[in-house]
Amino acid sequence: MVFNSLAFVAFFAIVLAFMAMPFAWTTRKIILLVASYLFYMAWNPPFVILLWISTVVDWYAAQKLVHAEREVVRRAWMLLSVVANLGMLSYFKYGHFLLQNFSELVSVYGVHYVPPTWDIVLPVGISFYTFATLSYTLDVYLRRALPARRFLDYALFVTFFPHLVAGPIMRPTELVPQFEIERRATRRQLQFGLVLVLLGLFQKVVLADTFLSKAAEAVFDTGQPTGALDAWIGTLAFSGQIFCDFAGYSTIAIGVAMCLGFAMPDNFRFPYAAVGFSDFWRRWHITLSSWLRDYLYIPLGGNRHGPARTYLALMGTMLLGGLWHGASWTFVVWGGLHGIYLSVERFLRGRFGGFRPGPLALFALGLLTWMLVNVTWVFFRARTFGKAWDVLAGMVGANGDAAPILSSMLVATTLLIVTGIVAAHWWMRRRTLESALLQVPAVPLAMGMGLMTFLVIIAQGEGSAFIYFQF
């Protein structure tokens, strides 16, 4: 079940109705838990078993390790959780990838190995909920948090449907305490939550699916050489598409949770106005970048053991972050490029730490950041290295004899929308969405909401899945 479908509209209306009834808080939490399981089972019912396994193993491991007296026992229970979660993730997401690469590796030494056919479907959202449950056990093990007092609260944290399949990646300390105390959405929360849902749907259905996807698909899914204009427009289109798709999902998720009386953290803060790559990762997929920082970068040494160790930690974190996005070397290169960017930025900050750019220089640095981020999107979107090199060659004018792919109308539309997205990010760079909406008078705000509603309806989308569902 996807947010941009009539099935979800009906599902959400029923959930809201049940949560508004005068049931006891425990009863309403059970209803919410059952609804979350039904939401997930709408994709593939058997995969709910993986949710149960992850929930039970982590709950039991956390309870045991917190009461263990010997460190070796505590570590054993923590490792049980890590192995169970990463084992499921590795099997379903990386099994075929590992077999293929093993086959290619042994072929170098003259061994002919044909891996078996891999017909296993990737469970939707497995990358997200395994990271969420892992943070629970690791935080308890590191004594950064106490285990949940009630199994129901923890099970609801794992399966809470707004964040279940594509984030934001919640920490137990952010959500479990909210389930312990009875909550009902206020009128203000309901209103603002519905505004967020509408805004997210507009980003997904109108901008990402209706306007931007066509140019990206035409460039990246063709076998013909790509000219300079087509390469740049296709890449910019995907840049806007993936933001509107994923930020749209996060916005809907936060709005849905707010309508139910719960708060979830921001996952995007206008990243295309970032100045520098550390700033970009403070604005893009914030809950993932903070997870990688706390559970990978810092354990790898962080910035506590000298420059060389810091650069290795940065590269290791971003390479694994790229692999988290998909079982393909193109994703690893995407993460590696971001690791190089972050390392170079750190080096330059160490050499020119006293430099304070003026407004024009700040904008120039922001524009450079955005253009280099677009280069990384080529590897994120291309299905093969061959296509990635073709698009990159086109971007520098090396495919001079390439025939045009995109129509003039598609080029103009893409440029207009992407320019609007980047301009909006710069205007909102130091603002929050809530503060900006509060400054808009009621009549223009209502007209804007009405227009977005109309555009979402006439877009007549087919409820296409969000891009990040494949990760």
Buried b (16+ CB within 10 A) or exposed e, 68-96: eeeeeebeebbebbbebbeebbeebbbeb
Are 220 and 174 contained in the same domain?
no
Give domain status of residue 1, yes or no.
no
Question: What are the counts of helices (DSSP H) followed by strands (DSSP E) for the chain?
Answer: 20, 0
Give domain status of residue 10, yes or no.
no
325 is annotated as an active-site residue? yes
Confidence check: pLDDT of 113 > 80: no
Give the domain-ending residue among 129, 155, 183: 183
384-418 pLDDT, tens digit per residue, is 999 999 999 999 999 988 899 999 999 999 999 99
Using CA atoms of 296, 300, 301, 303 in order, give the dihedral in degrees to the nearest 10: -50
| Burial degree of 254 (CB within 10 A; 0-12, 13-18, 19+) | buried
Residue 119 banded pLDDT, cuts 50, 70, 90:
low
Mean pLDDT, rounded, for 443-451: 93
Give domain status of residue 270, yes or no.
yes
Give domain status of residue 436, yes or no.
yes
Are 248 and 333 contained in the same domain?
yes
The share of the chain scoring above pLDDT 70, in percent, equals 98
45-64 pLDDT, tens digit per residue, is 888 999 999 999 999 999 99
Number of domains making up the chain: 2
Range of the domain at 377: 189-470
DSSP 8-class letter at 404: P
Are 165 and 249 contained in the same domain?
no
Predicted structure pTM score? 0.94
Give domain status of residue 243, yes or no.
yes
Give the domain-ending residue among 165, 183, 201: 183
Instruction: State the catalytic residue, choosing from 285, 325, 338, 425.
Output: 325
Give domain status of residue 3, yes or no.
no
Return the closest-CA partner of residue 417 out of 211, 198, 266: 211
203-216 pLDDT, tens digit per residue, is 999 999 999 999 99
Are 179 and 193 contained in the same domain?
no
Give domain status of residue 14, yes or no.
no
Give domain status of residue 360, yes or no.
yes
Give the domain-ending residue among 123, 156, 183: 183
Sign of CA dihedral 334, 171, 438, 203: positive
26-39 pLDDT, tens digit per residue, is 999 999 999 999 99
Q: What is the pLDDT of residue 461?
A: 57
